[in-house]
Amino acid sequence: MGTDIARIPLPARVPPRGRIGRTIALTATALAVATGVLATGFDASSATAAFLSQFRVQRVAPIAIDHASVTSAMESMGRLGTVTAADRQATKPVELPLAEASARAGLAPANPPTSAIPAGLARPTTAMVSSGATSRFRFEKARADQYLREIGRTDFAVADRFDGATLVVTTAPILAQRWQGAKPEQSLMIVQSRGLDATVEGRVTFDEFRDLLLSVPGMPADVVRQLRALRDWRTTLPVPIPPEMVSREVAIGATTGIVVDGGKVGAAVIWPRDGEIRGVMGSFPSAEIVQIARSIP
């Protein structure tokens, strides 16, 4: 029995807030698709993992993905093994005074200067924090073979060494601050996460496990194609872009992030920074959201 270990930053997880909230939430799902592992016991906004065998994500890259593709991936993965997820209640975000939430998350709040915050938004004195969580995905060859027979793909052989290979994912705490205006639609959220630990127990490596799961028949072909086209999957975080939204790369300090424009519903920016993945989302034009992100020290 061997253990292969990885640690990477993870996109922030917060309760969804309309379409933009779902865009950030889908990032976690994309990570699961990227590695072929779905922590199906979590909400889409609650987290999952990637196999990126690096300590820091160096870049982010958009991939086009729709709800049907996510559903298809979930269904396929559910036929390949058993997921043991963390207790939702135990990992449910709680609201605490900002200093206490920051200490619990082990993160210094990413605060933009007051001059960068849109007029009418009150600086938060509290924050939402979610505890770290552990989930497991155990690949079961017998179930995979049955699935392949059912879809008529007995030509696809799974080596015996994959049987029992288990992905163990421990996510880091998440910190989310919310600036709120007089109207519910006037809001801004900044989310942060330091990362996760992921281990593969068994007789296969991360590369072998990922390659198998991206090759299994039934995975959405277009999503698999985009993920395989990533320049370096060990350092690139795939960010899912729903069909109704537009994305582009944007410079945030010395790094490159992605801005997702939802038109009238607002925008979001996701970027890596000093071992964290950070996100800013709000009901404001994308140019304003980008400027807020750039203003954060």
Place of tokens 């400027």: 291
Residue at 48: amino acid letter: T
Please give the pLDDT value at position 50.
Answer: 33
Question: What pairs with residue 188 in β-bridges?
Answer: 179, 282
Please give the pLDDT value at position 36.
Answer: 32
Lowest-pLDDT choice from 14-28, 33-47, 240-254? 33-47
CB 283 within 8 A of CB 185: yes
Inter-CA distances, 56 with 53, 75, 219, Å: 9, 30, 27
pLDDT one-digit tens code per residue, 111-164: 999 999 999 999 999 999 988 888 888 999 999 999 999 999 999 999 999 999
With 90 as the cut, is the pLDDT of residue 53 above it?
Answer: no
pLDDT one-digit tens code per residue, 106-124: 999 999 999 999 999 999 9
With 70 as the cut, is the pLDDT of residue 296 above it?
Answer: yes
Please give the pLDDT value at position 61.
Answer: 76
Nearest partner of 91 among 62, 131, 127, judged by Cα:
131
Nearest partner of 64 among 232, 243, 236, judged by Cα:
243
CA 216/CA 144 separation, integer angstroms: 9
Is residue 55 helix, strand or coil?
Answer: coil
CA 83/CA 166 separation, integer angstroms: 9
Mean pLDDT within 29-46: 32
Place of tokens 């995975």: 219
Mean pLDDT within 228-241: 73
With 90 as the cut, is the pLDDT of residue 210 above it?
Answer: no
Residue at 58: amino acid letter: Q
pLDDT one-digit tens code per residue, 237-259: 777 777 778 888 999 999 989 99
Is residue 66 helix, strand or coil?
Answer: coil
Is residue 119 helix, strand or coil?
Answer: coil
> What band does 6 get if pLDDT is binned at 50, 70 and 90?
very low
Q: What is the pTM of this model?
A: 0.74
pLDDT one-digit tens code per residue, 196-206: 666 788 999 88
Those residues whose C-beta lies under 8 Å from the C-beta of residue 264, and which sit 6 or more positions away, are: none
Inter-CA distances, 177 with 13, 25, 38, 105, 172, Å: 12, 16, 27, 12, 17
Token pair for 211: 């390659």
Question: What pairs with residue 81 in β-bridges?
Answer: 139
Mean pLDDT within 291-296: 97
Please give the pLDDT value at position 195.
Answer: 63
Please give the pLDDT value at position 141.
Answer: 97
With 80 as the cut, is the pLDDT of residue 176 above it?
Answer: yes
Mean pLDDT within 54-80: 69
CA 175/CA 120 separation, integer angstroms: 23
CB 73 within 8 A of CB 33: yes
> What band does 58 get if pLDDT is binned at 50, 70 and 90?
low
Q: What percent of the chain has pLDDT over 90?
A: 34
Most distant pair of Cα atoms in the chain: their distance: 62
More confident residue, 228 or 44: 228
Lowest-pLDDT choice from 6-20, 60-74, 240-254, 280-294? 6-20
Query: Got the DSSP string for 194-259?
Result: --EEEEEEESS-HHHHHHHHHHSTTS-HHHHHHHHT-S-TTTEEEEEE-TT-EEEEEEETTEEEEE
Those residues whose C-beta lies under 8 Å from the C-beta of residue 156, and which sit 6 or more positions away, are: 148, 215, 216, 217
